[in-house]
Amino acid sequence: MSESTTAISPDQSEQQAIFNLQRVYLKDCSLEIPEAPTIFIEGAEPKLQFELDTSDLDLGQDLCEVSIRCTVTCQMGEKVGFLIEATQAAIFEIKGVSEEQRVLLKGISCPNIVYPYLRANMADVVQRSSFPPVHLAEINWEAFFQQKMARLAAQSAASGTTDSGIILPH
């Protein structure tokens, strides 16, 4: 009895899904201590304010950059103790998935991978500037993504537009 095998070319087979992290990098980081050195002498209680947002950029060839920008402002009484703003980014290869899956990967999975690097970098910079390190809280990126999508939908409804916001040339 002889066996026969049929070779399937890549064009005939189903495309395999690919999700790879290519590179993680600190894209931008800025620290300001406008009241130094007097802020170190005064003993006011620090109050922290956080702002966080994500963005993504298509780089072509199934590559995209996903970044997280975080701003932390430390108020000490009426003065600003410090202001740190950092953007941590990464390049991902995403291939062989539907557009819906791609949006979910960029909005949930990618930030989940990038965020620990941002947390570590911000804590290190703040601590090296003679303040106690800022430990950013863990984030449920699925809930964050859903809130962001709801906010964008509400803004679109309020402005009376239903398009994606992408402007194509005529």
Burial tier of 106 (Cβ tally within 10 Å: 0-12, 13-18, 19+): buried
CA pair distance 123, 119, nearest whole angstrom: 6
Topology of the domain comprising 18-134: Bacterial Protein-export protein SecB (3.10.420)
Segments making up each domain of the chain, as ranges? 18-134
Asked whether the predicted pLDDT for residue 169 surpasses 50, the reply is no
pLDDT tens-digit map of 32-78:
999 999 998 887 888 999 999 999 999 999 999 999 999 999 999 89
Asked whether the predicted pLDDT for residue 27 surpasses 60, the reply is yes
pLDDT tens-digit map of 68-92:
999 999 999 899 999 999 999 999 9
The H-assigned helical ranges of the chain are: 38-41, 99-104, 110-128, 141-159
Q: Indicate the pTM of the whole model.
A: 0.80
